[in-house]
Amino acid sequence: MHVHRALPAIAVLVLALAACQREAPAGPGPAVSAPAIPAEPAPPGDQPDAYVPPAQATGTNVPAVVDGVVSFQGFGPAAFGSDAEQVRMAWGNDLGNARPSEPGGCYYLAPPAIGTSRYDIGFMVEGDRFSRIDVGNAGYTAPGGGKAGMARAEIERLYAGRVEAAPHKYVEGAHTLRVIDADGGTAALVFETDAGGTVTGWRIGVPPQVDYVERCG
C-alpha cells in the first residue's frame, strides 16, 4: 500500500503556473526600448535648406549695409540736413555718445566695434545737421556701384563723364575722384585712392563738408 504524500503548497503553485503558460497562446511581449544613442550632428553639407550658420564677425566687413540705403540724398530715411536723432533712427542701433566739443561743432556718429571688427562707417554732423557719410568697408556699395578695393579705372568706367580727379592733398601719388550726382542734386561722392590707384574708402555728402580732407579736423 502506497502512501501519497501531499506536495508542499509552493510546488503545487509552480506546477499550476507552468501549465497555464503552456496553454496560453504566445502574445506580443512588452516593448523594450533600445538604449538612446545620441544623434551625431550632420555635416554642413547635409544641413536642411533652412539652416543658417551663425554670423561670424571677421575683418571690417560687419555687417554689410543693405545696398541702396546710402544714396546722394542721405542714409535711408535720414536725408542730408536731418538732425542727429533722425540718423540714429535710420541706423536703428547704437551709434555711440559723441557730442560736439562746442555748440554746432563737427563730430561723427559711429557704431562701436564688435570685438576687433569695425563697421567702418561714420555719419558726420555739423551745425547740428547730418552732412556726410564716410565709408572704409569693402562690403558697402556706393550709389552707382563703387566700393573700397576697386581700381581707379573701374570707378571711372562706372561713373563715366562724371569723375573729376585731383591729386590727394596728403598722400603722394594718390588721388581723389569726385563724382557729381547724375540727377542734378547738390551732394557729391568722393573716392580716395592710394598711390597704386586702389580705392581705400569713399565719402558722400553735401558741400562744403563732403570736401573736407581732414574730416572734422
CA 166, CA 91: separation in Å to the nearest integer?
32
Cell readout for 73 is 540724398
| Mean pLDDT within 172-180 | 97
Q: How confident is the model at residue 138 (pLDDT cuts 50, 70, 90)?
A: confident
pLDDT tens digits, 5-49: 444 444 434 344 444 444 444 444 444 444 444 444 444 333 333
Mean pLDDT score, 158-165: 97
Query: What does CATH list as the number for 70-211?
Result: 2.60.460
Asked if the model's pLDDT at residue 108 lies above 50, the reply is yes
Lowest mean pLDDT among 30-34, 100-104, 120-124, 194-198: 30-34
Q: Which pLDDT tens digit goes with each residue over 43-97? A: 433 333 332 323 333 344 455 566 678 999 999 999 999 999 999 999 988 999 9
For residue 1, the model assigns a pLDDT of: 47
Count CB atoms within 10 A of the CB of residue 156. 16
Provide the pLDDT for residue 60.
44
Assign 119 a pLDDT band (cuts: 50, 70, 90). Answer: confident
Alpha-carbon dihedral sign for residues 158, 75, 202, 180: positive
- The three-point CA angle 156-162-165 to 5° equals 60
Within 10 angstroms of residue 131's Cβ, the number of other Cβ atoms is: 22
Tell me which long-range contacts 20-25 makes (C-beta under 8 A, separation of at least 24).
none
* DSSP for residue 183: T
Q: What's the pTM value of the predicted model, to 2 decimals?
A: 0.71
Instruction: List strand residue ranges (DSSP E) for the chain, in order.
Output: 70-71, 74-75, 78-79, 107-109, 121-126, 129-135, 163-167, 175-180, 188-193, 199-205
All structural domains of the chain with their residue ranges:
70-211
Write down the mean pLDDT value for the chain.
78
